[in-house]
Chain A
Amino acid sequence: MSAHDGSPGESAARLFAQLMAEVAGREVPRLRPDEALRALEDAGDRGLPAAGPQMRAAVARAIDLYADLFRETFSVYADLVDLTATGRGGAAGAPVSMVGARGGEARSPVWLHNQTASPLSDVALRVTDLAAHDGALVAGARGAFSPPVLDIPAGASASATLALPLPAEATPGSYHGLVLASGLPSASVPVLLVVE
């Protein structure tokens, strides 16, 4: 290494993009109560009429829920749709995780949830090129969604399956890209592809 070699700018830009994708893809895990917690709920108390403090708590809880609903519905900057996915396994922070062998194919469902009061029609999905840490690429243009376009009623969900053929000469490793939706410029979801 010398003060004059290479292009640190390109390398840094690639690393910065990876970090930003990691941060953008993070999700707050929702805690699920397990059996031990349920066992602590005293079943014998359930049938008792609600006393004053319990009633106040129930009303406060309902107000909180409605406030959240209001915020979710009218938030000025919220995306029109929320793209999520149910890919297999995958690393934290990558909602779509796909695994495939060189020369084979990687597949994963991608879900769209229309949280608005209006139907969405003719939404086409596409996947960007997927890049590895060393700059190696898997072309996103080879990917196909089935069905190719989606119509999603208000408040409903729909899914498409992403199938991505993997080149036989692809280097094994992790590749990162995004799924984008036509007509929804602010919606995107990170994709982690592991080539085996």
Chain B
Amino acid sequence: MAGVEARLELYARATRAAMEQLLAAGPPAAYLDDLVADYPRRSGKGLRPALLLACCQAHAGALEEGLGPAVALELLHNSFLIHDDVEDATPTRRGAPALHEVHGVGLAVNAGDALAGLALQPLLDPGRLGSRLAREVVDEFLTMVRLTTAGQALELGWQRDGVTDLATDDYLRMVVRKTGWYTTVAPLRLGAVVGARGTAPLDALTRFGLHLGVAFQIRDDVLSIAGSHERHGKEHLGDIREGKRTLMLIHLLNAAAEPQRAEVVDYLRAPAPARTPAAAARVLELMHEHDSIMYANAYADRMTASALDLFDEAFAAASRPAPLRFIRDLLPYVVERST
């Protein structure tokens, strides 16, 4: 695992250095520059740019060619996070107060807009990629944005309308769009497109990424309620308090009999202030009682196993062993961050 972490850190450092160049460019803007740079400077794992750069290398591409899309992806991810925190009223992000908690909703949303615009800048440099490939890369980004916002809309809509009649398939439909595509599929596809200059087949790679993305998100959801707040920077019981339709919650809604199910439905349909820490803890207690967390972990295990089965086919066109090994070793690292 140490080798994976070391290489992940190298990819992250290269991405951060390039991001800093972008963040430092341009005329200064009051009430904006510090906010725009805030989330990118709160050190995340840099999973997305690492996947992109490693996949680019594995397909015999140059790191310099993958750097622009990697930076764009990371900046766009951070702009999503700013808006996501406002939409979900999340108080903390990566162990510190969320941007809107510090600066107010208006300035935070504006900074998210600016960051999304800044993310497009590296894509405007077709010098390395050429116009054909640059257009393909932009197309990948457009697909990603469309799917991500569609998935987010689905979850926010369920929360607003108090939708509780949901099954595992509904969760899958939502989560592959909301996070799966842009966390794993888009980085892998972008890396392959750039590395192989548009000649690599993408279907098997996409299937691999979808399985991995779902496994990653389920583990992330489990962490939100069962992980260490200090280690992972997540608010304790945050997803339950926000009423997020996680796989664990959907399992509980299907597994619990009355009157427990009604108790959970009432909780989800209550206004946000009524979803107190004590009420959220009661939902967690019911999840434990009905093995919902165990179910989610088992589901993530099966998704990971399927991803591993698909690995060779997904990377049939890749030729460089070191980055390929990194991606393979990254699988258990990504989905077992709970320790």
Q: Are A15 and B169 in contact (CB under 8 A)?
A: yes
Report the bound CA distance from A31 to B176 in whole Å: 30
Report A-chain residues with C-beta under 8 Å of the C-beta of B116.
none
Report B-chain residues with C-beta under 8 Å of the C-beta of A15.
169, 172-173, 176
Q: Are B131 and A20 in contact (CB under 8 A)?
A: no
A11 within 8 A of B: yes
Quick one: which of A8, A19, A76 contacts B168, CB cutoff 8 A?
Answer: A8
Q: Are B168 and A77 in contact (CB under 8 A)?
A: no
Interface string of B170-186 (1 = CB under 8 A from A): 00110011000000000
Report the bound CA distance from A76 to B199 in whole Å: 8
Q: Contacts A23-B143, A71-B132, A76-B199 given: A16-B176 contact, CB under 8 Å? A: yes
Interface residue ranges of A1-60 to B (CB < 8 Å): 1-4, 8-9, 11-13, 15-16, 19-20, 23, 26, 28
Q: Are B298 and A3 in contact (CB under 8 A)?
A: yes
Report B-chain residues with C-beta under 8 Å of the C-beta of A71.
131-132
Report A-chain residues with C-beta under 8 Å of the C-beta of B303.
8, 12
Report the bound CA distance from A71 to B130 in whole Å: 11
CB distance from A51 to the nearest CB of B (A): 29
Q: Are A2 and B168 in contact (CB under 8 A)?
A: no
Q: Are B291 and A2 in contact (CB under 8 A)?
A: yes
Report A-chain residues with C-beta under 8 Å of the C-beta of B80.
none
Report B-chain residues with C-beta under 8 Å of the C-beta of A11.
168-169, 172
Report the bound CA distance from A118 to B298 in whole Å: 54
Report A-chain residues with C-beta under 8 Å of the C-beta of B199.
76-77
Report the bound CA distance from A127 to B206 in whole Å: 23
Q: Are B143 and A9 in contact (CB under 8 A)?
A: no
- Main DSSP-derived SS at the B contact region: helix
Query: By CB atoms of chain B within 10 A, which of A1, A2, A8, A13 has the most?
Result: A1
Closest A residue, CB atoms, query B136? A77
Binds A, one of B38-46, B207-215, B232-240, B261-269: B207-215
Q: Are B143 and A26 in contact (CB under 8 A)?
A: yes
Report B-chain residues with C-beta under 8 Å of the C-beta of A1.
168, 251, 254-255, 295
Report the bound CA distance from A143 to B306 in whole Å: 34
CB distance from B37 to the nearest CB of A (A): 33
Q: Contacts A2-B295, A3-B295, A9-B306 given: A75-B132 contact, CB under 8 Å? A: yes
Report the bound CA distance from A20 to B251 in whole Å: 26
Closest B residue, CB atoms, query A7? B302
CB distance from A121 to the nearest CB of B (A): 27
Q: Are B169 and A20 in contact (CB under 8 A)?
A: no
Q: Are B295 and A19 in contact (CB under 8 A)?
A: no
Q: Beyond A8-B302, A15-B172, A19-B210: 4 further Cβ-contacts under 8 Å?
A: A1-B251, A3-B298, A26-B143, A75-B132
Give the 6 A-B residue pairs with the shortest CB-CB distance, closest first.
Answer: A3-B298, A3-B295, A16-B210, A1-B254, A77-B198, A15-B172
A-B contact pairs, 25 of them (CB 8 A): A1-B168, A1-B251, A1-B255, A2-B255, A2-B295, A4-B298, A8-B302, A8-B303, A11-B172, A12-B172, A12-B211, A12-B306, A13-B207, A15-B172, A16-B206, A19-B176, A19-B177, A19-B210, A20-B203, A23-B143, A26-B143, A28-B139, A71-B132, A75-B132, A76-B198
